[in-house]
Structure 1
Amino acid sequence: MNERQVKDLYQQLLNAWNNKDARGMADLFTEDGEQIGFDGSQVIGQSEIYAHIAPIFEHHDTAHYVSKVKNVRFLSDNIAILRAIAGMVAPGQSDINPNVNTHHTMIATRTEGNWRIVLFQNTPAQFHGRPELVEQMSNELRELL
């Protein structure tokens, strides 16, 4: 079991987002992989993921992810769950926007030696009524800037 490979897969996903590379993002998923976006949208399959992400990059100046992997847990030699926290820095800004902090969950599988994403879920970390938790997460992510 190689935790580094799973972390690298996650970083490739974020790099593809940060580089506005929809094809690169989609290709990291299994053929029937699933993505659940920040807004709750659910997209299944590489081609659908690409079709969903490409227009976002074409029509929006997207923010860059800053993230911290919290843990990687192996369910078997070929299945791993990665959990991370992430923040976004908007174009032209230098600080995390606490309103879009998120928890990332990635389930990955290894087939023929290659790790691919089965599920990537992007869950808003709003901590309703607990602003101190938003600030704590933001501060943890700011350390990475």
Structure 2
Amino acid sequence: MSTTMPTEVPAAQQAAVATIAQRMIAAWAHHDADGFANLFIESGTLILPGVLRQGREDIRAFFKHAFENEFKGTQVTGKPISMRFFGPDVALLLSQGGVIAPGETEVADAQSIRASWFVVRVDDQWQLAAYQNSPMNTRLATPGS
């Protein structure tokens, strides 16, 4: 994982930002919509393919429904691939991973994603201001194809 910072950021803060991904994985493992939503600031934004949710309560409602339906029995995995700080309380974490379907042990190619995590420190707690992911295995259309 590469880390780029305009100013020196203590290793403990870098680790705290990186643990947001682990906290998300844990909330998903328990299908905990509250735990998932609480990773976000009150006005946080979630963007998934075909999904835009604004605010913690909207994110909570989305995952409550999704964990009972399309995400039932799934798990997620991911690992940080890059981290940049834009001051002592703002960072961008990039990761790759994906959703593991029920009965599977690894992410299928069709479920592989890359994600950006815009995190801010509020009251000494790192939280998501915005999370967005995109499929890894899509190709942009090129002229003539």
Over the aligned positions, Cα root-mean-square deviation in angstroms equals 1.4
Query: Which range is displaced more, 7-16 or 26-35?
Result: 7-16
Cα separation, 1, equivalents of 2:17 and 2:76: 18
2: CA distance, partners of 1:62 / 1:105: 24
Cα distance change, pair 10–94 in 1 and its aligned pair in 2 (3 A): closer
Give the TM-score taking structure 1 as reference length.
0.82
Calculate the TM-score normalised by the size of structure 2. Answer: 0.82
For residues 77-92 of structure 1, what are the structure 2 equivalents within 5 Å?
77-92=88-103
In 1: Cα distance, 2:120 partner to 2:88 partner? 9
Tell me if 1:49 matches 2:41: no
Q: Aligned partners of 2:27 and 2:127: how far apart in 1? A: 14
Secondary structure of the structure 1 residue equivalent to 2:105: coil
* Structure 1 unmatched runs, 5+: 130-145
4+ residue stretches of structure 1 with deviation over 6 A?
Answer: none
SS at match of 1:108: strand
Higher helix share: 1
Kindly, what percent of the aligned residue pairs are identical? 26
Partner of 1:3: 14
Q: Which has the larger radius of gyration?
A: 2
Distance in 2 separating the partners of 1:10 and 1:96: 16
Provide the C-alpha distance between the structure 2 equivalents of 1:119 and 1:99, rounded to a whole number of angstroms.
Answer: 24
CA deviation after TM superposition for structure 1 residue 99, in Å: 0.3
